[in-house]
């Protein structure tokens, strides 16, 4: 499946490796989170190839344990589109969503999920609860992983290394 309606290929090709623009943006948002002392995770929601919402982890800043990048981005997108059903939207996030976020993506009926790095310790898509694989999950987005994985993993590694 190709998703390059952004006229972004020229921009992306000028980087060391061509990342889709939404994931490039999500990685930049994750870097902003790290600067703010938050675990570096960024998320972007696109509709018809255009970014309509973006967020980064804000649990500490908002004093809200549920303020994961995906949750905040979903709220922004729903508000912006004035609908609780985001079935034509795609979510791009730098880390495998946790079980809470995976459930929220299902409830929001997000059409497609692309994440960068796997999260064997806290993920809920390919690991742990595997939310989308449960019979109680009534909407499963298409799932793609590994896009931007090296950069996302390095962001997390250096964030936690600096805190030891
Ligand atoms: Zn989460």
Is 60 exceeded by the pLDDT of residue 2? no
Q: What is the pLDDT of residues 79-107, one digit of tens each?
A: 999 999 999 999 999 999 999 999 999 99
d(CA 109, CA 52): 16
Q: Please, what's the b/e burial string for 150-160 (b: 16 or more CB within 10 A of its CB; e: otherwise)?
A: ebbbebbeebe
Residues 150-157 have a mean pLDDT of 98
CA of 68 to the centre of ligand 1 (A): 5
Token pair listed for 54: 């973006």
Task: Indicate if 70 belongs to the active site.
Answer: yes
CA of 97 to the centre of ligand 1 (A): 5
Q: What is the pLDDT of residue 164?
A: 81
The better pLDDT of the pair 164, 127 is held by 127
pTM: 0.89
d(CA 116, CA 111): 17
Task: Count CB neighbours of 9 within 10 A.
Answer: 12
CA of 13 to the centre of ligand 1 (A): 30
Q: What is the pLDDT of residues 3-41, one digit of tens each?
A: 444 444 444 444 456 899 999 999 999 999 999 999 999
For 75, counting Cβ atoms within 10 Å of its Cβ (0-12 exposed, 13-18 middle, 19+ buried), the class is middle
Catalytic pick among 4, 38, 54, 70? 70
For 137, counting Cβ atoms within 10 Å of its Cβ (0-12 exposed, 13-18 middle, 19+ buried), the class is middle
Report which of 18, 24, 30 is spatially closest to residue 51, judged by C-alpha positions. 24
């Amino acid at each position: 499946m190709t998703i390059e309606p952004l006229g972004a290929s020229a921009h992306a090709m000028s980087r060391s490796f061509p990342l889709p623009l939404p994931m490039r943006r999500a990685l930049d948002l994750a870097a902003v989170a790290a600067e703010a002392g938050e675990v570096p995770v960024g998320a972007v929601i696109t509709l018809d190839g255009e970014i309509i919402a973006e967020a980064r982890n804000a649990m500490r800043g908002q004093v809200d344990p549920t303020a994961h990048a995906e949750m905040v981005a979903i709220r922004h997108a729903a508000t912006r589109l004035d609908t609780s059903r985001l079935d034509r939207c795609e979510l791009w996030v730098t880390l495998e969503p946790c079980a809470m976020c995976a459930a929220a993506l299902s409830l929001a009926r997000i059409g497609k999920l692309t994440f960068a790095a796997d999260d064997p310790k806290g993920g809920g898509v390919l690991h742990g609860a595997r939310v989308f694989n449960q019979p109680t999950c009534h909407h499963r987005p298409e799932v793609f992983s590994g896009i931007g994985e090296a950069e996302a993993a390095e962001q997390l590694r250096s964030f936690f290394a600096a805190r030891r």
